[in-house]
Every structure is written in C-alpha cells, then in structure tokens.
Amino acid sequence: MQKAIDIYIGRQPIFNNQMKVIAYELLFRSNSESNHAMILGGDVASAQVMMNAFGDIGLSEILGEHQKAFINFTEGLLLEEYQDFYPRNKIVIEVLEDVEVTSRLMKSLTLLKTKGYVIALDDYIFSPELEALEQFSEIIKVDLLDVELSKLEAHIERIKSQGIRLLAEKVETQAQYEYCQSLGFDYFQGYFFAKPNIIEGKRLPNNKLTLLDLLAKVYDPDIDMSVLSAVISKDMGLSQKLLRFLSETASNKQPIDSIHDAVLRFGLKRLQGWTSMLVLSGVEDKPIELFVTALIRAKFCELLGEKLGGASKDAYFIVGLFSCLDAVMDAKLSDLVEKLGLEEDIQQGILGYKGKLGCSLKIVKSLESGQVGFEMPEGVSATDLSQLYLQAMQFAEQLEW
C-alpha cells in the first residue's frame, strides 16, 4: 500500500481597493513549521506548487470562490512546450524579475498572451532592460522595499496609460497602503493585510519507474493513446493526479468513466506537459540530468538496434532506459531488473552487456565517457554512431524539462 506524503502550499491573499480578496498568490513551502520558502530550484519549486494545487489538494479547495492563483514562473517554465498544460482560466503567470529578455522569451510570452493567459511582471524594478516585457503584461507587481518612491512616481502615469494594473506587494504599514492608493494602485498584498498561511494536504508518491516509462512513451509521435492509458492506469498515484487535475481544469464536466476517457479528454499535448511537470516536481532528490541520460541511452540503443537487428526496437529502448534504474531507485540494479519480469536477453543486455542489446548499451556508455576503444559493430561506422548519438540527444532535449 502506498503511503501518502504530506504536502504544503503557502497562500497569501491579494486585495483590491475595496479590501476584497480577489486572488491568492501560491508559494512553495516544504513543511508546516516554516513560513518561508526553502527553494530547491525555481523550476522545481513552481512545478511542485502547481502539481500540489491542481493534482492533489485541489485548486478549488485552495481558492474557494476566488478565480485566480498567482504563480511564479521561471524562464524554464515559460517555454512553449508547457503552454497547453497551464489552465488559462485559473492562473496568473508571474514572470520573475531575474529573467533574461531574449527573443526566445519574447516569443513564449507572445504565444501565452495570444492564448489568453493573464501575465504579471513580478518584483518589477522599472529597468530599461525590462521595459520590453510591459507589452505582454496586464499586471505589474511592485515590491515597495525594492523601488525608490521617487522612481515609482515617475513611472505611474506611463504604466497606467497602457492599461496595465498595478499591484503593490510587501505593503507593511497603513502609511504605505494609503500612499499606494493615492498613486492609483489597483491591488495590494503584504503583511499589513495578511501573512501567508500554509495549506496542508496529502499526495500519493510518484512511482519513478512508471513515470520514466510514461515520459518516454508520451513523446513518441506514433504512440497509441491506449498505451498511455495503460501506463497511467497501473499506478494509483498517477491515476489520481490525472483525474483530479482534469476535474479542476476541464470545461467539460461530464462524468469520467475510465482512465482512458480521461487521457483522451486531456489530449496528447497536455499529457506531454503534465508528464514533464510531474517529473520536474517529483525528483527533488535526483538531478534532472539523470533522467536525461536514461532517455538518451534509450533512444540511442533503439536507433542503433534498427541497424543491428536481432531484437525489437522496444527491447533496445528498454535496455538503455533501465540502465540508470539503480541510480533512480537507489537500489542494486540486478535486484531491480529481476523484479521487472524482463526477458532473459534484455536482462543479460543490461547486466552483462551480452548480445546485440548489450553491445548497444556498452557503446552508448562509452560515448558518454569519451572512450573510443570499444569494438565496432559490423556494418556501422564511427560517423553513424556520432549521428545516432546526436539524434538521441535531440530526442531528450525536446522534452523541455
């Protein structure tokens, strides 16, 4: 029986001029004792907030009657890959102040705005380098502790003339509140009104093996949706998260009659973003690079296997994928492989580099470490291997971690 894990989200209200709560900012919290973020890394923290809110606790439980949740987005989470994953009617995307203004970021924000997302600029400091982002924002959040009041007054008219609403954060005194009101601020947030409170919940743990399998399959352009349904269905935690997420975000409120029904409603594009976010939110104890390595090995073995033959491409893929399993699961590889019920030639390929399956694994591990003294397979050149490894890297990179 899977034991539920305690999860936490910080929630701080945002008020309008009539002192009515109109939204909440959701904040990463690692426990119930500390009301401060102990950040694992920006991408991971934001991913955990979203997964906990949408897939476990439930956004309706957190927000109540309020419509929007403000959530911090790092540059990594603003990539196009995830854009079909975010429910546009539920969130305000806070673009963090430390993003680098690049053409890639501008393209992502353009797409997000076109799709109807509300974008806010967080901790805005009125720097000339950031002015290009104003065109995408509906809300600008101003940290009163970081901006000189004289500088703030100089920009108010220009910002308001663009139809952008202003949110004062870190409001800590009555005087600050009244001053911001006089300047025409629309929204307010800070300890003067309320400190963040911590919402507690439970989640079922992610089975890393199942999640890795799902991640590999969901990016196969020829995948049958029933295969994805089968992977999700065999894991209680994944099934629960998918159903809860769908119930929180779907416009179609018809009852769901199966996991396959939920998968079809979710759609492949959203499943890709959801799966990537699950991996990101659930591997705080493991580096993402480990999962990238596993997928590069898997794809390389599959591609080389098409040239070597002797086994199905799926068998080659599994050999590469599960070669990192000991590092992912913190257990002895031989014990893990035995429990998977794999065919004997696959087991021997993983554990002893036997046969053509083992040959593909040995080659990819040699390429990783820069070794060149391995035996070349018949009919395959060094140039072939370099090209296949490049293709495998491109496959792993497209997953947009």
Residues 6+ apart with CB under 8 A from 150: none
Q: Does residue 325 sit in helix, strand or coil?
A: helix
In whole angstroms, what is the distance from residue 75 CA to residue 88 CA?
18
pLDDT in tens, 82-125: 666 777 888 899 998 888 888 888 998 999 999 899 999 998 87
Bigger pLDDT: 137 vs 337: 137
- What average pLDDT score do residues 233-245 get? 78
Is 384 in contact with 312 (CB distance < 8 Å)? Answer: no
Which whole number is the average pLDDT over 331-347?
A: 75
Window from 157-171, 172-186, 259-273, 370-384 with minimum mean pLDDT: 370-384
Collect all residues with Cβ–Cβ distance below 8 Å to 249 and sequence separation of at least 6: 54, 87, 90
At residue 1, the pLDDT reads: 39
Contacts of 331 (CB under 8 A, 6+ apart): none
Rounded to an integer, the average pLDDT of 317-325 is 81
What single letter denotes the amino acid at residue 238? L
Task: Give the residue among 309, 218, 273 at the shortest CA–CA distance from 400.
Answer: 273
- What is the architecture, at CATH level 2, of domain 5-201? Alpha-Beta Barrel (3.20)
Q: Which among 373, 32, 335, 399 is positioned nearest to 202, based on CA atoms?
A: 32
Contact present, 50 and 280 (Cβ < 8 Å): no
pLDDT tens digit string along 152-205?
Answer: 787 888 888 899 999 999 999 999 999 999 989 999 999 988 888 888 777 666
Per-residue confidence (pLDDT) for residue 146, from 0 to 100: 79
Q: Where in the chain is CATH 3.20.20.450?
A: 5-201
Task: End-to-end CA distance of the chain: give it in Å, rounded.
Answer: 30
308 Cβ neighbours under 8 A, 6+ residues apart: 356, 359, 360, 377, 380
Residue 300, pLDDT above cutoff 90: yes
Question: What integer best gives the mean pLDDT of the chain?
Answer: 81
Please give the biggest Cα pair distance in the chain. Answer: 79
Determine contact, residues 242/171, Cβ cutoff 8 Å: no
Task: Give the DSSP H/E element, type plus range, for residue 198.
Answer: strand 197-203
> Measured between alpha carbons, how far is 229 from 231 in angstroms, rounded to an integer?
6
